[in-house]
Structure 1
Amino acid sequence: MRRTRTALRGAAAVVTAAGAVTVPVATAGAVLADTGQVPYQCKIFSTVFDYNATVTVSAPASAEVGDEVTVDADFSNLPGVAPLPVNSWTTTGTLAVSGAQTGSVPIQAPKRTETIPAYGELPIGTVSGKLTLAAAGDVKIAPAALTIVAEAGAQATITCAPKSAAAPLATIGVGEGGPGASVSPSTVVQGGAVSVTGAGWAPGPVELALCDAGGGACAPGDLTGATGSADAAGKLTASATVAESAAPGARTLVITQGAVSRSVALTVTEKTPPPTGACADQPAERCGEQKINLTVNGGPLTMSRAAGEVDLTPVTLDGTEQTATGSLKQVEVIDARGGSTGWSLTGTMTDFSAPAGTKIPAGKLTWTPSCTGAPGASAVTPGSAGPLDTTTAATLCSAPDGAGQIVGGTFTAGAGLKLTVPPATGAGRYTAVLTLTLS
C-alpha cells in the first residue's frame, strides 16, 4: 500500500499537492549441526542485492553406505527487498556434496503463509532434503543455490547463489555398511536409458521402480526394460529406460531386493518434441526448428503525482456562500504486477484551518474524479463525484479484478475540485491535507 499526502490551501482555501566461519553447536550424538556465514548474491526482477546468510547445516555424524539420510539447512532471514507485501512463499535449493561422494542434494521447505510487509525481511528457516549415501568415507555438505518464489499479488522469483563455493558445514562419516547404489546419468531425458551400480547386495535379482521425489507414488509404466542383479561378490548391475510418458522433474529411482530397499535421486527432463509445421516433412539437414522461450517477470504497483501546489481560486466574503474551484494535480498509477488483482486509489482529507484557528469542514470540498488508461491498459473506472471526509475514504480511481484475465498498464487520475465557503468564515489563508492511498 502506498500513500501520498496533498496539502490544501487557499486565500479562503488553497489546494496543495505536498567467508564461512564454522561454529559447532553440537559435538556428540546422532546429529551434528555447524553454523557459518555464507555471502550470497541474489536477484529479484532486475534488482541485484547481497544476502549475508547465517546458515546452520544439520546431518548425521555417521551412517553406512546405502543409508538415506535427512540433511537440514536453516537460513537466516532474507533482506527486505520485495516492493509489495508478501502473502506466501516457497523455498527450494541445493546443498553441494563433496568428499567420498560428489553431487548435490535437492532441498525444499513447505509453503509458508503469512503477511510480510513491503520491504520486510523474509523468514527462510529450515530447508530439508534426503541424500542416499553411495560411498564409504567422509561426505561433506555445503550450502549452495537457493530459490524463493513469493506471492505478492503477482509471482516474484528470488534467486540466490554463493559468491564463491561455500565451505562444508557438515560431515558424515560413512561406513561400508549395507548395500549401496548410484545411478548414471543422474539427469536423463524422457526416453533415455540409465544404469545402476552398487555394492554390498546379496547375490540375486533386484527390482527397479521410478517414483516421485519423496520415494512414493511409484508409476509402473515409468520404466521399461528394467533388469538388474547382484553377483556372488555383491556387485550390483542394473539398467532401465525411462518412458517417454514419465513425468519430468525431480524423481527417485528405488532399487528393491526382498526386504532391502535403496533410493537414488534422479532428474527427468522433458524430451524435445519432433519437428512440426514447416519442418515436419523436411530432411533434418535442410530444415531445423528452434524453440523460443520468454520469461516475463512481474513488477510493482506504484503511483506518483505531479509536483507543485494546486491553488483554489480566491474568494471575497460578501455575506453569502462563495465557491472556490481548482484541479487536483495529476496522479499516475503503474500496475506492472502481471496478475489479475485489481487496485483502488482513495482519498481522505483534514478540515481546512487558518492560523487564527478558524476552520472550514472537509465536507465542504467536493471532487469530480476522472481517470484514463494508456494504450493497452486494462479497464479503469473513476470514482463518484461527492464530498471528501476526514475518516471515510472516497474513491478517486479503481481497476477491478481481472476475473481470470491479466490486468495492468499505466493510468492517470485527476479530479475537479469545488469548495463551498460559508458566509461566516474568518478571513485568512486556509490549509488542509488530502491523503491518497493506493491499495
Structure 2
Amino acid sequence: MTRPSRQWRVLGLCGALCAASVLAAAPAQAQSAENVQDASFVWGLNGYAQAGIFGPWTLKDFTGNATQLTGSVSGGSQTEYAVDPLPATSMPVSSPQKTPNAVKFTGGKGAVDPVTGAGTLSWTGSYTVNAYPAQFNAPNEVYRDPVLTVAADGSGSVTAEFGVGGGNDMNGNPIPPEELGRLTVITFDAGSLSGLTSTGYRVTPDYRGVTVDLAEGTPQVRTCSDAGGATGWWGSWPTEFVTKAPSAVRSHFYSTGCGGNQDYKAPLPFDVAYTTAVTPPAGSDKDQDLKVVVPQAPTEPGEFVWTVDGSNGLVDLGTATQRGDHYLATGSINPVRVTDTRENAPAWSVSAQVSDFTAGTTSFDGKYLGWTPAVTDNSGGAVPGAAVASGLDSGTGLSSPATLGSAPLGHASGSARLGAELALKTPLSVGAGSYSATLTLTALS
C-alpha cells in the first residue's frame, strides 16, 4: 500500500471577514470612499412657502434630478413628505391638516457613515421658486446642485448654487438677473438628526435665535415673547444666504416681526434617504490562495502516478462576502491527475483533510471548509467522492478526511482528472485576520 501525501497551503483568508470585523470595531466616522449612489433629499422649504400672503409659493422649472411633490396645500396628494404643524415646525395649522409642497432630489452620490450619518452627499439639478403672483414681476429664485455635509456630532450644512432672475423689487424698481455663487442655505447644530438608521434620517435646521445684521432693509426683530401662548420665535436662515438674497425676497427668511406669518419663516425639516455599500478599508481586500508544489514525474508503464495540474497556478477564492448569517468564500482546487497503468488494476483513492485556520493567536475550525468533487478526462474508471458540506451547515466539513476521487479494483487502465469546488462558510463571529491552513491530500492504493 502506498501513502504519498501532498500539502496545500490556504493563504490570506481575510477579505470581507477582516473588513467586517474592522468596521465593527473602528470608531464611527465618515466613509473615505464613495459608498452611496442613490441618495434622496426631500424638503418643504418653510411654512411661509406653504401659505404665503398670496398662497403657496410657486415651484417650477425643475431640471436634472429635481422634481416636485405636490401636497394638499396646492390640491395635490403627495404622502411621501409630512411634517407636524405649529408649534412643532413652521407648517401652518389647518383643519383638516394639509400636506406641504416639497422639492425632491434623487440620485445623490457621496460617502456616509451608516452608524452616525456623517459624510457628504451631493445632487445635480435645480428648482425655481417665486413667492408672488405673476403680475408683481418678482424675481425668480433658482437653487442648483445642493451639497449636504454632516459631521459625526450631527451638525452640518446644506449649500447650493443660488441665483435670481430679472424682475422688480417691492417698490417696482428693476432688478437685474444675478448669479450669487454657492451659498449656505441651511445650517444645523449637533444632535439635529432624528430617526437615524443605516438608511437615512431627518434634520431640523437652525433658525430660532440666529441673528442677522443687515446693511439695508427691515432690521431683524429679536424681542418676541411667548406670553399668551405665542411661540416667541425669532431668528434667521444662515447669514450668508440672507444678506445676499435680493431685497424683494429677503424678508421671507428672517424675523421682521412677531407672531402670525412670522412663525412660518423657519425652515422646515428635510429628509435624507440612501443605501450604503460597505467598502472594506484599504489593505483588507486580500486574495485567498491555495498553493501546491508537486514535482513532475513521467508516467511509465505499470505505475501509479498522481500529479497536480500545474497549468492553473494559484487558486483564488476571491473576497469573502457576507451572506445573511455567515461569510462565504468559494473557489476550485488545482486539479489532481491520477494515472494508473498497473497490472491487475488495484483500487485507489485520493482523500483530503484540512487543519484549523489560524491568524496569529486567533483561529477557527477547519470544519467550515466544504467541497463538491468532480471527475473529468476520465479514461481510468474513476468516480468522484461525495460532496462534503461546510460544518456551518452540518457535520465536520473537511476537518475530517474526505474522498476526492477513487477507482475500484479492476478499473480501466488510464487516467482521470480530479477536481473540487471549495466553499468556505464561517459564522459572523469569526475574528479579523489573515488566516492560513493546510489542506493535506493523501493517495491510497
If the length of structure 1 is used for normalisation, what is the TM-score? 0.32
Higher strand share: 1
If the length of structure 2 is used for normalisation, what is the TM-score? 0.31
